[in-house]
Amino acid sequence: MSEPAASNPLLALQTHLPPSFDEIAPEHVEPAISQLLEDLHQAMAQIEADVQPTWSSRIEDLTRRFEPLQLAWGAVGHLTGVRNSPELRAAHEAVQPAVVELLTRVGQSQPLYAAAVALRDGPDGSSLDEAQRRVLDASIRGAELSGVALEGSQKARFNEIQMELAELSTTFSNNVLDATKAYELILRSPAEVDGLPTTARELAAQSYREARGAEAGAPQAAEDEATAEQGPWRITLDGPSLSPFLQHATRRDLREQVYRAYVSRASEGDTDNRRVIDRILVLRAEKAGLLGFADFASLSLARKMADSVAEIRDLLGELRERAWPAAQRDHAELQAFAVEHGFEGELRHWDVGFWAERLREHRYAITDEQLRPYFPLPKVLDGLFALAERLFEVKVVAADGEAPVWHEDVRFFRIVDASSGAPRAAFYLDPYSRPAEKRGGAWMADCLGRSTTLAGPGEVVRLPIAYLVCNGTPPVGERPSLMTFREVETLFHEFGHGLQHMLTTVDRDGAAGIDNVEWDAVELPSQFMENWCYHQPTLRGFSGHWETGDPLPQALFDKLLAARTYRAGSDTLRQLYFGLTDLALHDGYQPSIERSPFDVQREVAESCTVLTPLPEDRFLCAFSHIFAGGYAAGYYSYKWAEVLSADAFGAFEDAGLEDDAAVRATGRRFRDTVLALGGSRHPMKVFEAFRGRGPATEALLRHAGLTG
């Protein structure tokens, strides 16, 4: 018997949006998803019999039929990333195979595929607009890449691979989360935290109190109280704890201990991802072969802007030629500086962050700790939202309490038209690190997409809602979150992704917002927004001392701007190292005893790292982008899209950044092209519509200080 929707919030999503995150519990997952899958399996025969080669039948009707599962499974997937628990993990794993089975069945449906092809090639196809044609082409391509043409044993094997890859991806992600959560370094002597800034010591003491309180299952006992001055202090592998420790702790032996733990995460014991990686790579290669591709990289490029691996390597090679000598100079300067200041011997990996921070302080007289007080999260948000209003004529309005949230720190906002007040979109912001339950990194994901097809009663269009998730420094005591400048850039980055999702004007399902945007173009708006962090009028708008309200002093801004390209060669080379390793693993490679994925990593490192990785370096075991995310054979996208984003910001520079009218006009054009058109046009056409020409690398090299 079907469970009443009212008793299961995952079944009520069709009529109750946004999701009731305060009510969804792990025990709701299995019954809700199982029921939705059963309903769709029973309906498939009729769906296939009724489908016609028309837009309304093949695209819109199917969108409506599958939306309940899309909503429920999307909410579950979101919660596994931000509120993970053993119970939720078990519930997710229990139903994931059945979800994959259903989606595979749909992707391989011959009647649905035939209807799409007939629509494209038939008389109705000529009347479709550009967005409709792109959606239809993507649907046909998606079916072909889902194995619709396979038969017999090949089809059965393909389906087995799909199922196993989904399970392995989840396992990989869980292992990284668990390995990160499992490590802690407890320090009890002030000498062990020598050099750590006050904010880092306060966070480490708070981490100790929270961890010991969680172990006790009760509020923190008095004897376990920890203070920033006296400790104990807890250091973890989570970003807000790890980075300051490697940059500031004077105890070299402790830095080494933490660094070695970080680069070997998820590579041993119950969280060992080494065999998971091997299996994923073998299965991806086999999957590509079944679909007629030479390797997984070729399969991946079927959905991207880049035409070939050779084209990608040409771009990355050009950037490497500029970055390699600059990175070597960076390291030589760092070595000389360290020796000059009393260091003996050759710098090791755990020394680089420490001495790079000392050299930055020496050269630019600026530190993260000087900057932090000027970037409290509430002030940064005010400035970010003011920038969005200036560029894109929208207002961001706090709407806390108007939508249920999954954690007390999560906020909810609405976006409205600045002139009319008409609603445009909404988003959740989950800003702080929670290593016990939240995966690392930062991301934007869609909660709801813009759609006329899925509009509710009385609505003309369903408005989009986004998730913006960061892992920033949390508040400590009564003090707000004081952000590092890199955390500020990350927030701007994710908001850029969100803007493309939320400010779309496309109503076609499958082409609105980020839907159907080629993966190597999807970073354009996010990386574009980061550039505004270095624009002085904008920065003055989002900076303000958390106690006095004073904006960032001119002297500090000048130093920050001067330091923008500090170690740019090293930073660029690091991204190229990741991207080229990803390509090498998916471009004709098969794991073997003679040549493991880590051998491939070391081969790439020879030309992309100034310091050879440690023998126990297993960064691949935590490389979630390519083994548990969507960047497999696509990590190059960051640099590919950075060419586009830098050139896009160049349009504002050309117009005159101090000319407010020109900036506003250029912002409207960016909004009406890059942000509005989403996946309704090929990204090269979208870029050309904004820029008036194709992209060039000059702006990227100039911004990175690599033009010399």
Instruction: State CA 377 to chain mean position distance.
Output: 20
Instruction: State CA 47 to chain mean position distance.
Output: 35
Closest CA to 613 of 626, 598, 596, 633: 598
Instruction: State CA 290 to chain mean position distance.
Output: 30
Closest CA to 693 of 665, 637, 651, 655: 651
CA distance 95 to 84: 16
- The region, left, alpha or beta by phi > 0 then psi within -120 to 50, assigned to residue 147 is left
CA distance 578 to 633: 11
CA distances from 600 to 206, 467, 538, 618, 621 (A): 41, 35, 43, 12, 14
CA distance 340 to 359: 11
DSSP state of 479: B
Q: Which of 192, 487, 489, 494 is catalytic?
A: 494
**Cβ distance 546 to 479 under 8 Å?**
yes
Torsions phi, psi of 434, nearest 5?
-140, 75
77: helix, coil or strand?
Answer: helix
494 is catalytic: yes
- Contacts of range 308-317, beta carbons closer than 8 Å, 24 or more positions apart: 309/583, 309/587, 312/583, 312/636, 312/640, 313/580, 313/583, 315/636, 315/639, 315/640, 315/643, 315/697, 316/576, 316/579, 316/580, 316/636, 316/639
The Cβ-side half-sphere exposure at 645, using a 13 Å CA radius, reads 25
What stretches of 309-445 show up as alpha helix (H) in DSSP? 309-340, 349-364, 368-371, 377-392
Q: Which two tokens stand for residue 693?
A: 């020409």
Q: Is the peptide bond before 232 cis (omega within 30 degrees of 0)?
A: yes
CA distance 250 to 256: 11
Residues catalogued as catalytic: 494
